[in-house]
Structure 1
Amino acid sequence: MNPSERKPSGEDRDKGNGSFGDNPWRAMGLIGSVGGTFAACLGLGYWLGLKLDAAQDTGYWSITGMAIGVVVAIVVAILLIRTFTGGKAN
């Protein structure tokens, strides 16, 4: 197809098989979801760790809470990516 014959409205975009295709909104939604998930899991893990530090008078639970938050965030991010891509690995 000649580039001058392309339709500017996006009618010729690939919308098949649940992939992102040319849809930037869907990609931005995924990036925002994954970023928000990481922020929430890290923040919650750190906050719970601080509460345990204060209760037990220690100084290592906040770091442990953040590490657990990262692991949880990675698992949730994988599930989000699978959902956004239609359950496929690629």
Structure 2
Amino acid sequence: MSPKDPYDQPWRAAALVSALGIEVVLCIGLGYWAGSIAGKQFGDVKTWIIGGVLVGFAIGIATVVLVLKKLLEDKKE
């Protein structure tokens, strides 16, 4: 009997998807927070908040891509 592939588990996949979603939400939240602080400091709060959210979203997507790339590289080995 061969050992089961550790990457072929539905709970592991569900946990990964949840963790990646939480990561994106946290990055967006941090972008909102940073944008609101910058808006209070430099004026035009709405523009800074929108910019912060967009930058946070981009960073969140980039980190998700990096995590998935690393996970897929580990699976190949």
TM-score normalised per structure 1: 0.69
Residues 1:82 and 2:69 aligned together: yes
Q: CA shift at 1:83, angstroms?
A: 2.7
The answer to whether residue 52 in structure 2 is matched with residue 69 in structure 1 is no
Rounded Cα–Cα distance in structure 2 between residues aligned with 1:69 and 1:87: 27
- CA distance in structure 1 between the aligned counterparts of 2:24 and 2:11, rounded to whole angstroms: 20
Moved beyond 3 Å, runs of 4+: 11-14
**Aligned pairs, number:** 74
3-state SS in 1 of match to 2:39:
helix
Q: 1:44 aligns with which of 30, 40, 62?
A: 30
Unaligned runs of 5+ in 1: 1-10
Between the aligned partners of 1:53 and 1:80, the Cα distance in structure 2 is: 31
Q: CA-to-partner distance for each residue in 1:36-55, whole Å, 9 max, x for gaps? A: 11111000000000001111
Tell me which moved more, 23-32 or 40-49.
Answer: 23-32
Letter in 1 for 2:66: L
* Distance in 2, Cα, partners of 1:54 & 1:39: 23
Distance, in Å, in 2 between the alignment partners of 1:28 and 1:84 is 14
Query: Residues 29, 85 of structure 1: CA spacing in aligned structure 2 closer, same or farther, 3 A cutoff?
Result: farther
Is there any run of 5+ residues in structure 2 with no aligned partner, and where? none
Q: Which has the larger radius of gyration?
A: 1
Higher helix share: 2
